Amino acid sequence: MNKYLDINPEVKEALDSGKPVVALESTIISHGMPYPQNVETALNVERIIRENGAVPATIAIIGGRLKAGLTPDEIEYFGKKGPEITKASRRDLAMLCAKGEDGACTVTTTMMIAHMAGIRVFATGGIGGVHRGAEITMDISADLEELAQTPVMVICAGCKSILDIGLTLEYLETHGVPVIGMGTEDMPAFYTSKSGFKVDYKVDSPEELANFFRTHIELGMKGGILVGNPIPDEYSMDPEVINPAIDQAIRECNELGIKGKATTPFLLAKVKELTGGDSLDSNIQLVYNNAKIAAQTAAYLCK
């Protein structure tokens, strides 16, 4: 086991016993929403995973230690510190460990630490991807590279709709990452259930999804699998409301010259402001839905 890795005792017992475990990211706690709503949401996600037969493992870096599974007190700590915590991608991991600092795990680092711990399934809100205008800026999320090399199944509601969804799918295709639609042939668009872009394959149940991933592993495939799980219809936003808000947020981001790690938090906060908070409500509900499917899939994967 990696000498920097601490596995929560409940998570370790589940892994040793062959019980289902679902990884969760911590950036959504520190950077995704304000306190105390962030802590409440994180604890609710863990509750939903337990109710659906799996053990939650929220993943973070605390004091230079890689944590696979947080206690409620550690989640509270993360929620209160919020954006003061470094948003940690692959390039930040060694420095944070060397300096004994905290890090909020993105999709990339959650996949890495989950894989170190032996956790196969990961539920999140949306992945990073190719940013609009990337043909000029070269702004492409490290999440896509991690999907190409780390064998973890990531269940999300699509890439964040502030991104270029078409180019994101093209990038994943180039790197051989299968993109699966849960009950849909249309890639979800985060706040809405359809993007107009097709997934590679459609599955209709968590059991079918688990069988697909089991075969992927048994074949010795190098990378992971991305699952697009649409936001439930009752929480989906009206495209005529959300799309103009996203376009305006991107314009303001460009005008202010915001780049790199700060881009996505700025855009999500601006979209929340422009929609009067409705986008955050949708964000929370889609995370709950992804947690449910991930737990059910992990349970079938362990059978």
Q: What is the pLDDT of residues 123-178, one digit of tens each?
A: 999 998 897 777 777 888 899 999 999 999 999 999 877 789 999 999 999 999 99
Question: Helix, strand or coil for residue 154?
Answer: strand
The confidence score (pLDDT) of residue 215 equals 97
Q: What are phi and psi of 103, to 5 degrees?
A: -150, 135
With respect to residue 45, please indicate whether it lies within any of the assigned structural domains.
yes
CB 106 within 8 A of CB 143: yes
Find, among 169, 163, 221, 225, the residue nearest to 190 by Cα. 163
pLDDT band for position 48 (cuts 50, 70, 90): very high
Find, among 216, 294, 225, the residue nearest to 55 by Cα. 294
Q: One of 25, 46, 76, 146 is an active-site residue; which one?
A: 25
H-type helices in 219-277, by residue range?
239-256, 263-274
Question: Count of domains in the chain?
Answer: 1
**What sign has the CA pseudo-torsion 296, 171, 59, 270?**
negative
With respect to residue 118, please indicate whether it lies within any of the assigned structural domains.
yes
Q: What is the pLDDT of residues 227-285, one digit of tens each?
A: 999 999 999 888 888 888 888 888 888 888 887 777 777 877 787 787 777 778 888 99
The Cα–Cα gap between 220 and 51 comes to 31
With respect to residue 225, please indicate whether it lies within any of the assigned structural domains.
yes
With respect to residue 256, please indicate whether it lies within any of the assigned structural domains.
no
Q: One of 160, 270, 272, 292 is an active-site residue; which one?
A: 160
Parallel, antiparallel, or unpaired for β 103-105 and 201-203?
A: unpaired
Active site residue 160: yes
How large a percentage of the chain has pLDDT more than 70?
A: 99
The Cα–Cα gap between 298 and 294 comes to 6
The Cα–Cα gap between 137 and 117 comes to 35
With respect to residue 95, please indicate whether it lies within any of the assigned structural domains.
yes
With respect to residue 191, please indicate whether it lies within any of the assigned structural domains.
yes
With respect to residue 278, please indicate whether it lies within any of the assigned structural domains.
no
Q: What is the pLDDT of residues 98-112, one digit of tens each?
A: 999 999 999 999 999
Query: Can you give the residue range of the structural domain that contains 16?
Result: 5-236+284-301
With respect to residue 49, please indicate whether it lies within any of the assigned structural domains.
yes
Q: Indicate the helix (H) or strand (E) that contains 282.
A: helix 278-301
Residue with tokens 């004994």: 100
| CATH number of domain containing 212 | 3.40.1790.10
The confidence score (pLDDT) of residue 176 equals 96
Entry pTM: 0.92
Average pLDDT over residues 211-217: 97
pLDDT band for position 1 (cuts 50, 70, 90): low
